[in-house]
Each structure stands twice: as C-alpha cells, then as structure tokens.
Chain A
C-alpha cells in the first residue's frame, strides 16, 4: 500500500488537459512522504518527552558530573576538567578500556557461538529431553549474576574452592594442586559466559522458530547436506538476530562489574566497570572520576548500539509472520544424541546446579567453609534472615517492583517501538536511539546520574524512583521485544482500521496490541526476572524503606555475611519462580524462546 492509495489524490496536469500526470503523482507522493517524515505525531512527541526525562537527562547529568570537581550539588564542587583528563589521558584507563572491550567481545562471540549451536540443536534436531534441556539453558536467569559469582568463587577459588579442596582429598592429590581457578581472566569470562548464554540462546532460537522452514526444505531437496543447509541457508536468515545478540552481549559485558569484582580479579588489570565501582566506594568517593569512566565507556557502547540497531533493522527483511504453518525437518542425530545431551547437562550443571548447591551449602554454615569434612550445617542463617525486620519489607518491595517496572516498561516500550517502527518522522530514529541509551552507560553510573538528578526531589530514595530507574534501564529490552513483534505484523491492518474511522490510539489498542500480545508478555516475564534480581542501579537508588531483596543480599555481602547473602539469593530465586508459575497459570505465558 502506498501513500497515494491511502488518500492522496493525484493532481491534474495542465499540460495533459486534466489527465493524471504520473510524474506529478510521484512528485506529490514524494513531497507528501517527505512532509510526513518531517511531521512528528503527537505520540512521537509524548514518547520523546518521556524518554528525555527518563533517560536522556540522567545520561546528560552523568556527563555534567564528569566535568565537576566533586559530586554535583556539593558546595565545594565546581567546573573542572580534572576527572575527564585523568581518565581520557591516562594510559591506565585506556589500557583497561582495551582489555575491557577485548574481554567483552570475546565473551559476546563465545555466547553467540554456543547460543546459536544450542538454538539450532534444540529447534532443528531430535535431541533428547528437549524441554528439560531448554529449561536448563535458561535456568541461570533465576540467579542474580553477583550471587552466581559469589557461588562460583566458593566453588572455584584456586586454594579454597569446594572443587579444589574436596577433589584433593578425595583423589589423594597434593594439597597445592589447582584443578580450577576462577579468579583469572578466563575464569571471569567463563562465569560471564554462563550467565549471558541464555540471552543469546533465546534471541537466536526465537528467530529460528520464526523463519520459514520451507527454505531449509528446498535446500535439502536440492541435495545440500545438514551442515551446508545450516551454514548457507539457516545462518544467513538468522544472521540479524545473531549480530544483534553479539552486540547486545558485548554492551552488557562491557558494563558488568559484579562478576569480576566478586571473583576477586586483579591481575594488574581490572575491567573499567570495576574501576567505576572502586571510584564510588573509596574514601573520599570520586564520583566525577566514576562518571568520566562512564562517559569513556559510553562512546564505545554507543558504537555497539549503532551496530545493534543496524542488525535489528536488517532483521525486518527476514523475519515474517506467515499464515502457512510448515514444520521444520528435524535432523536425526543418531548416536550423537547422547553426547550432545550430556554436553547440555554439563552446562546446566555448571551454570545452575553447582551454583545453587554452593549457595545452599553457604546458607547452611556460619562462614564460607569449603571442605566437606569440616562443614557445620545448621539452619541458623535462615532464622537470622527471617528474623531481620528488613526482609518482609524487601520482599514486598521486590513484588511491587516486579509488578510495576515490567508493566510500565512494556507499555512505554510498545509506544517507543511503535514510533520507531511505524512512524516515519526524523524523530523516530531519535526515539529509538534514546531508548537504547541505558545500555551504553554502566548501570552504576546511570544510577549515579539518577541520584544527582533526583536528590532534591521528594522522589529521592522512594520505591517510585527505583521503579522509574528500572523502567529506564530496561527500555532497550522492552523496545526491542515490542519492535520485533510489530515488525511481524503488517501495517496495513492498522491502516484499514484508520480508514474505517478509528483513531491512531484506537487502532493501536484494538488492532496492534492484541496481535503483539505474545511478544509483550514474553517481554514482561523477562523484565520481571531482571527487575527482581537487579542490583547495579538499585544499590544506589533504593532507600532504607524501598530496598528490594537484591539490595538486601548486596548489603549482607558488603557486611561480610555471605551465609545470609546466600539465603536471600535462594529467596530471590523462589520469588522469580513463583512469578513464572503465576504467569503460566494465570496468563498462559511461558518463558521460552517459542514465545519471543
């Protein structure tokens, strides 16, 4: 359907005596299209205003803070280039930047490689116990990455980790033998890989499920084998989602501080996000320095977002929602089913079973004791946590956050995605970029911008501000999910509604929203999990009466009581699991790639 067909009437040409002039028609259509591009809709303006307040202003505040001598607002703070110069002109930080980016790119590449292989195996082969394996793949989502890292330090610390200590005496190995060392750069990358793999798997698997299997069928009919079809037909079709996953994970891995910090990594190199955290926690705190490092990371992650958007844009060419339901041919693995299933189980063991076991062991002892022969199991830690008056409040706060933040983020994400996908004004691109900005700034730095911005308002330290922060933080994911859903729906459905007299809002609410509902519900579930375990922003924004369980767990950890941290970690997993069960029973929504 063209603009002309939608209502533009072709003008009569004086030269042709009143008959429509095709050139003029094109010209009018082009001008009309250009005008349409220039004029942002009311929805675009409203979304832009909201996103500006929600995201752009805090990010701008971070930049402002980087040019101060102290935290903005303090009486002694004034304009200063010291922080920016000390970061941008320092070989220490520039080398750390190179190392951080290299680590992030390697982790992203490995996540995509393994995620794509897992997605293909689960979607296209007759692998054993498919549902169990898929659940095992996404199980690490229920563990907060920092708690998972604490658990892995207990498991894999070179001299005292559960694996090393117990295998030494069980196998009669020398006391100084190191089987696993998690406190190394490869160790940190391994743990990050365990926790990023579910994202790449889900994104690529959803793309695989949405592609037309008849393309692969045609390839098989033309005599191509399994590998050739996978590489020359399937891979090019899912390439946009592979590329998008790669840049998304690269951006995430650049900004994560909790895993390298919890694993005690300091081998002369510390990732920039860890440097940011240190700047915030030394005495006196160096917040301008932290903001300056955040701005340094911003430029590189912005580049990642550019490529991420490009790859997402390309996905429009490939992802279709067809009416024809063709079942893909399932590749028979033969005896390979067994080793492949075992590899999946090993992943589940490393990413979920062992960390949960470590958490349970930690929770059952007063201190992190790793030698099975010396353990002193008791339920005291559980009693201590449940006696803590802060726990009930934290539980309710977590539930409030888990309900409100994903709901608002999904609604706003749908509006932003609608503007980005359907609207043709120049501002649509701006809206799309701004909605992705929170990925470009490390969470702890973004939260600092929020605190600087809101410290003079009544929202400061309230649950409302924490929810606002999380909505802003998850806008990239909410927008991405809604956009994917929108791309699969032909815009002509809305146009038909509008031509029948419905307003744009009514068309959006009655036509588009029901059709993208599955994508929105999946988005909601994923954001519910993220919000329930979020700590990077929450540790700065939450107040004493608004702290969720994740912040309580962080506070226990920073107080040195790892046993209590583990108890709260287990409680958080139960809350997330309960949320999923409710979602499945009440809303019929499952957390699986099939619904994304």
Chain B
C-alpha cells in the first residue's frame, strides 16, 4: 500500500478515534439531593425542577401514561418523555442501556415484576423509599425498590357484542373456559400467546398444569386451540374482537378492555374465575439521568393525588384504599367486577417458573396444543 494511502487510512482512523473520544466525555453533573438524608420535600422539588427532565419507560397504554405524566407536569412543571413499548422489548432496551452505562430511563414501570426483580439483582434499580410507599398495595410492591401505584390487571375474555348473542354470553359466563372449548366456535377465537409476558404464561398454566388443571387441563386447551382463528399479541387480538373478525379473545388485560369498552367499542368482558392478577409497578432507574425528578415522580406516583389521577385516567380500580373510585360505567352491560380471589402465587411457584424458563417445556406443549408456529 502506498504511503499516501497509509496516511489517508491513518487520518481516517484518527478522526474516528477523536470523534469517539470527544463523544464519550461526560457532561457536567446535575445537582442532586442525598436520598439517604432526611426527607425534605422543598429541596427535592427544587432539585427536580433544576433538572427539568424525566424519561418514563412504561408498558401501559400510551394515552393513559401520557395523561398521568401530564398531571405530574401540571403539578411541578417538569416535562415527561414517555417511552412506551411491550414488556419484552421495553425491558430489553432498559437492560441493554443500563448494562452499557447508557441509562436513558429515570422511571421504569412494567407489569412483569420478575423483570424488575432481575433488574434489582443486576443493580439497575435504585433503592428508594417514598414517604407514602406503604400506602399502596404491598402484594405487588417490593419496598425500597418498586411500588404498585397503578391498577391491578386481571386477564379476561372479550367478546364482540354484535357477533355474540345474549344466550351465548350467558353460556360463556356460566363456564368461560369450558364454553370456549365447544367445537361450534371453530375459527372464532383470538388467542394471546403466552410468550408475551409472565401473567399470560401464568394464565395458561393455571388451566393446563396449575390449580385448575383438575377441572380443565390440556384437553380443554387442546379444544380451545382447535377453535383458534388467530394467535397473536394482546393488541392484535383485541382489535380483531373489536372489528368483529373474532367473536372471542383471551386472555386480554382487563385494564385495556375497560379502556376500549368505556370508549364505546362493541365488546363485553367475562372473567374466567379464577384468573391471575398483576399490577404495574414503578421503580427508579439506577444512574437515572434526572435522579431528583425521578424521586419526585415516585413520591407523587404513590401519593393519593398520583394514584387518584391514575384511577381517573385509566378508569380502573385504585391501588390505594383512600382513593375514590366511582366509574361511570358500573351500570354498563359489559361491566363485571374483577374476581376477588385471583391466583397470585405463580411468582413463587417453582414448578411454574421451571416450566416457563428458557429450558422448560411449556412453550413446546402450548404451541403443539394450539398449532402455533412459535
């Protein structure tokens, strides 16, 4: 290679190195409040306002998150950037950024608490105890790390009110899972595959191998699988039921269905009883770019005002007992209250966890039962 070319190559390499070095240098540190010091609300608010930024990673619906965040902005004047995605890709993005020291999120909020537990073990979640952290539901919280300040979600069955007759609804309500196994429903059921999240895995496991296996088991799932007309994610199946392409869809997050139905979509809701339950929880990211704004948001999110706002915008039951919940849809024909006794133990059920682990065989069995290409 000629000297001139070598020189060109060297200059190009040096330019790349210089750009990389310049880019890797960090900016000035933001002012911060010591989280271990006694709580001083005024100091926290001042520090958060000085940062004037907050990035929220969440897996709830975009409009609900936006309205919730807008209320926080109205209160403190701090703009919030929402990054919304499904749990899997959202957590993957958060984990990659945290591992690379490239933290973008200040607050992370996902349904799958196993993801949050994993993040805590990896040191990606900051330890912080908000003043009113003990006021929100403790079943779905991990004190010191994440707090269930949003709504409890229970997977349900949706049906299209134009396609399904009142008699069929009555049969569905009498024995939801048994009814969906009826061969007359072939091609009319939209199925959400378990791969998308732990609460979905738990739902299917509950009826195939879990506590309800005795009454239902794989025979029932095989029969429901034979009726599947569509196997996809929550949103695709939900839209297919709304559009009338599918008469029934399951398991679909009731919080999502309530948003649809209360907005006028032609759907009804039926809960298999029992079902499983889960609640989105918020946590502060370690190395959050705006740590004081993150702490202030966490304080606000678990406060009565924060939970009340969530309850109002999501139209779902609150996670604090002192919050008012009077939905306008309680008399609507599609409305049914959540089952009181959902299966909660799945997160500690070792057989379940082993079965759905990467080397477990649950997905293979489920795919075979539903004829799903995985």
Contact = CB atoms under 8 A, between A and B. Distances in A.
A160 B245 contact: yes
A498 to B, nearest CB: 17
A544 B83 contact: yes
Closest CB pairs A-B (n = 3): A283-B88, A458-B23, A160-B244
Contact of B20 (A96, A457, A559): A457
Contact of B239 (A39, A42, A75, A368): A368
B309 to A, nearest CB: 18
Given A283-B198, A284-B91, A74 B84 contact: no
Contact of A45 (B9, B88, B256): B9
B196 A544 contact: no
Interface string A268-300: 111000010010111111010000000000000
Interface of B: 1-2, 4-5, 8-9, 12-13, 16, 20, 23-24, 55, 61-63, 66, 81-89, 91-92, 95-97, 99-102, 104, 112, 115, 122, 162, 195-198, 230-236, 238-240, 242-246, 256, 260, 263-266, 358, 371-374
Given A283-B195, A461-B104, A559-B235, A370 B244 contact: yes
B12 A154 contact: no
Contacts of B20: 457
30 contacts: A41-B5, A42-B4, A46-B8, A49-B12, A71-B92, A73-B96, A75-B99, A154-B243, A159-B244, A159-B246, A160-B245, A266-B230, A266-B231, A275-B373, A281-B88, A283-B86, A283-B198, A284-B115, A368-B239, A370-B243, A388-B66, A456-B100, A456-B102, A458-B23, A459-B23, A544-B81, A555-B85, A558-B85, A558-B235, A561-B62
A157 B263 CA distance: 23
A502 interface: no
A562 interface: yes
A413 B287 CA distance: 41
B256 A455 contact: no
Contacts of B263: 366-367
A374 B263 CA distance: 15
Contacts of B230: 183, 264, 266
Given A266-B230, A544-B81, A457 B242 contact: no
A456 B98 CA distance: 10
Nearest to A48: B9
A71 B93 CA distance: 10
Contacts of A371: 244
A20 interface: no
Interface of A: 39-42, 45-46, 49, 53, 71, 73-75, 92, 96, 154, 157-161, 165, 183, 264, 266, 268-270, 275, 278, 280-285, 287, 366-371, 374, 376, 388, 451-452, 455-461, 543-545, 555-562
B233 A281 contact: yes
B289 to A, nearest CB: 12
Given A46-B8, A75-B99, A278-B374, A556 B195 contact: no
A56 B264 CA distance: 51
Contact of A457 (B24, B198, B245): B24
Contacts of A559: 61-63, 84, 235
Nearest to A154: B243
A264 B245 CA distance: 11
A134 B235 CA distance: 37
B242 A367 contact: yes
B46 to A, nearest CB: 25
A287 B95 CA distance: 12
A158 B99 CA distance: 46
A561 B63 CA distance: 9
A275 B374 contact: yes
A294 B195 CA distance: 20
Given A275-B374, A367-B242, 16 more contacts: A46-B12, A49-B12, A92-B374, A157-B243, A158-B245, A264-B236, A264-B240, A266-B232, A281-B86, A281-B89, A456-B102, A458-B23, A458-B24, A461-B104, A544-B104, A559-B62
Contacts of B92: 71, 280, 284-285, 287
B96 A266 contact: no
B25 to A, nearest CB: 9
Given A46-B8, A74-B96, A270-B373, A456 B101 contact: yes
A318 B243 CA distance: 53
A75 B198 CA distance: 22
Nearest to B65: A559
A158 B187 CA distance: 11
Contacts of B87: 283
Contact of B97 (A165, A266, A455): A455
B187 to A, nearest CB: 8
A543 B104 contact: yes
A543 B97 CA distance: 12
B371 A268 contact: yes
Contacts of B100: 73, 455-456, 460
A367 B265 contact: yes
A267 to B, nearest CB: 9
Given A457-B24, A559-B235, A45 B5 contact: yes
Contacts of A154: 243
A360 to B, nearest CB: 16
Nearest to B195: A282
A448 B148 CA distance: 32
Nearest to A545: B81
Contacts of A281: 86, 88-89, 196, 233
A383 B90 CA distance: 28
A165 B256 CA distance: 26
Given A281-B233, A283-B87, A455-B102, A368 B62 contact: no
Contacts of B55: 544
Given A266-B232, A367-B265, A555-B62, A282 B82 contact: no
A266 B83 contact: no
Nearest to B62: A559
Contacts of A374: 162
A366 B261 CA distance: 11
Contacts of B85: 555, 558
A39 B4 CA distance: 12
A280 B243 contact: no
B227 to A, nearest CB: 14
A545 B82 CA distance: 10
A73 B89 contact: no
